């Protein structure tokens, strides 16, 4: 298959983790006879530094003329910690999602068996957890009218949803539930918010078309608690933009690290694949960022284009990297320091050697990268 992929690595740890995904995709292309062409473009803080604009027109044009986008991360304290900053890296990401109509962000969460022993959560609570979070991505409070009064003492952000915005992601979430364990939980705050009451109404109406799926409702505050007390109760979670943002970071603790959680952002015309984490600026350039969320996002990209065997190989490689502790320090407390590059090299080597049943991981080639 021929694929043109826009690469928006962003800033912070974005470029280091995305570099690992590119290595992995190149290995997949080579082993499975595909042609992947990568087109780099700037977004976020680096785009502000270079052009003054967090989403330059040229970047948007590259995204619109490629088959898929691989996104890294954006966010820089030099903008985020300055309340008077006129432009922010995050505006680039939000505008990108809006302009491309990427209305559904799908965030899979699962408890890897090999990580459970080291989890702060108890085995019997998290083992076999497998959740698919459907987060609405282009509406709600992140996109509503923003205002600050002239004296600067009052500020507001409007949370607004239309029936249409709710309907389109709800259908996707119900269809996903039909192919999974047939349960959908709407997470909202319908006891307080009008917008949540509209979500409940529309989702309840649509549920009539999916009678094989059990629908239930949870207020977001309770959902946050249930996520830690009993995550196995969840199959598909459907929720609005901000609640989905927050609850999925929380859910990443079940997975073992936010550095493991990938996502697919889907629209009518365009698709983007992005780790759920941010730019983790404290780790920039240190080689300690976990690249697996980015690598697993690349696997979701392949799956989206029907390249299932290729995605399976990446997933197996990731499972082995966890099993043999070829992992960055967020998951690896041993003396043996493994860098971002080392993890990428391990996954890449696995792909090149996947047919060799006698693979000996103690001799795995960790490439030219230095073990930190
Ligand atoms: N999609 C994006 O580009 C997002 C950007 N941001 C931006 O990122 C910047 C930093 O935000 P934070 O709230 O600190 O969130 P963050 O996700 O960047 O980091 C929070 C914590 O998660 C852990 N972490 C994150 N990514 C990791 C990785 N790959 N490997 C290992 N550990 C990892 C670290 O312990 C880190 O301190 C801000 O400017 C924020 O606006 C935040 C979330 C998403
Ligand atoms: C930085 C925000 C715009 C996005 C975010 O936190 C996310 O999409 O997870
Ligand atoms: Mg977030």
Alpha-helix residue ranges (DSSP H) falling in the chain: 14-32, 45-51, 57-64, 77-80, 89-99, 123-126, 163-178, 194-207, 220-229, 241-255, 292-304, 308-323, 340-352
CATH numbers and ranges of domains, the chain: 1-102+267-372 (3.40.718.10), 104-260 (3.40.718.10)
Distance CA 73, CA 13 (A): 7
- How far is the centre of ligand 1, averaged over its atoms, from the C-alpha of 277 (Å)? 5
Amino acid 118: pLDDT: 87
- Tell me the mean pLDDT in the region 136-156: 97
**Stated pTM of the model:** 0.94
pLDDT at residue 322 tops 60? yes
Ligand 1 centre and the CA of 258: distance in Å? 8
Q: Is 250 in the pocket of ligand 1 (CB under 6 A)?
A: no
- pLDDT of 6 > 90? The answer is yes
Q: What is the mean pLDDT of residues 262-285?
A: 98
Above 60 in pLDDT, residue 360? Answer: no
Higher pLDDT, 245 or 361: 245
Binding residues for Mg(2+): 221, 245, 249
Average pLDDT over residues 79-93: 90
Lowest mean pLDDT among 119-123, 282-286, 362-366: 362-366
> What is the distance between the alpha carbons of residues 85 and 200, in angstroms, rounded to a whole number?
37
DSSP state of 181: T
For residue 150, what are the CA distances in angstroms to 23, 83, 84, 154, 155?
50, 15, 14, 8, 10
Measure the CA–CA gap between 61 and 70, rounded to whole angstroms.
Answer: 15
Q: How many alpha carbons fall within 13 Å on the CB side of residue 94? A: 15
The SS3 of residue 70 is strand
The mean pLDDT of the chain is: 94
What integer pLDDT is reported at residue 83 of this predicted model? 80
Reply yes or no on whether the pLDDT at 369 is more than 50.
Answer: no
| Contact call for residues 303 and 31 (beta carbons, < 8 A) | no
Report the pLDDT averaged over residues 323-349. 93
Residue 364 has pLDDT above 90, yes or no: no
Q: How confident is the model at residue 367 (pLDDT cuts 50, 70, 90)?
A: very low
Q: Could you tell me the two tokens for 153?
A: 């003492």
User: What pLDDT shows up at residue 356?
Assistant: 53
Tell me the β-bridge partners of 272: 69, 265
For range 321-345, the mean pLDDT = 93
Query: What percentage of the chain exceeds 90 in pLDDT?
Result: 90
Binding site listing? 97, 107, 135, 221, 245, 249
pLDDT at residue 371 in the model = 33
Instruction: Tell me the CA–centroid distance for residue 248 and ligand 3, in Å.
Output: 8
Residues in the chain, how many?
A: 372
ipTM of the complex: 0.99
Sorting pLDDT into bands at 50, 70 and 90, what band is 82?
Answer: confident
The pLDDT tens digits of the residues spanning 209-241 come to: 999 999 999 999 999 999 999 999 999 999 999
Q: Is the CB of 72 under 6 A from ligand 1?
A: no
DSSP state string for 123-173: HHHHTT-EEEEEEE-SSGGGTS-EEE-TTSS-EEE-----HHHHHHHHHHH
């Amino acid at each position: 298959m021929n694929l043109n992929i826009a690469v928006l690595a962003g800033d912070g740890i974005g470029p280091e983790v995305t570099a690992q995904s590119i290595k992995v995709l190149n290995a997949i292309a080579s082993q499975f006879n595909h042609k992947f062409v990568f087109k780099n473009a700037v977004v976020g803080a680096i785009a502000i530094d270079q052009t003054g604009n967090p989403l330059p027109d040229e970047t948007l044009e590259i995204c619109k003329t490629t088959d898929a986008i691989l996104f890294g991360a954006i966010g820089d304290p030099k903008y985020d910690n300055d309340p008077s900053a006129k432009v922010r890296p995050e505006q680039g990401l939000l505008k990108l999602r809006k302009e491309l109509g990427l209305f559904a962000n799908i965030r899979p969460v699962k408890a890897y068996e090999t990580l459970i022993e080291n989890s702060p959560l108890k085995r019997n609570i998290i083992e076999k957890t497998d959740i698919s979070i459907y987060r609405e991505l282009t509406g709600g409070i992140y996109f509503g009218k923003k205002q600050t009064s002239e004296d600067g003492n009052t500020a507001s952000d409007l949370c607004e949803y239309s029936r249409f915005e709710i309907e389109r992601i709800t259908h996707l979430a119900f269809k996903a539930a039909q192919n999974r364990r047939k349960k959908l939980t709407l997470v909202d705050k319908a006891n307080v918010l009008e917008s949540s009451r509209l979500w409940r109404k529309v989702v309840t109406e649509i549920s009539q078309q999916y009678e094989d799926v059990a629908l239930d409702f949870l207020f977001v505050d309770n959902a946050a608690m249930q996520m830690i007390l009993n995550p196995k109760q969840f199959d598909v979670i459907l929720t609005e933009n901000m609640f989905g943002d927050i609850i999925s970071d929380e859910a990443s603790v079940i997975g073992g690290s936010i550095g493991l959680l990938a996502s697919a952002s889907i629209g009518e015309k365009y698709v983007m694949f992005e780790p759920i984490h941010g730019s983790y600026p404290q780790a920039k350039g240190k080689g300690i960022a976990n690249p697996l969320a980015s690598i697993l996002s690349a696997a979701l990209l392949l799956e989206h284009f029907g390249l299932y065997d290729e995605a399976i190989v990446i997933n197996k490689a990731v499972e082995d990297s966890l099993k043999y502790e070829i992992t960055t320090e967020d998951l690896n407390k041993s003396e043996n320091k493994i860098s971002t590059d080392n993890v990428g090299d391990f996954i890449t080597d696995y792909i090149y050697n996947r047919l060799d049943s006698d693979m000996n991981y103690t001799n795995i080639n960790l490439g030219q990268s230095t073990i930190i």
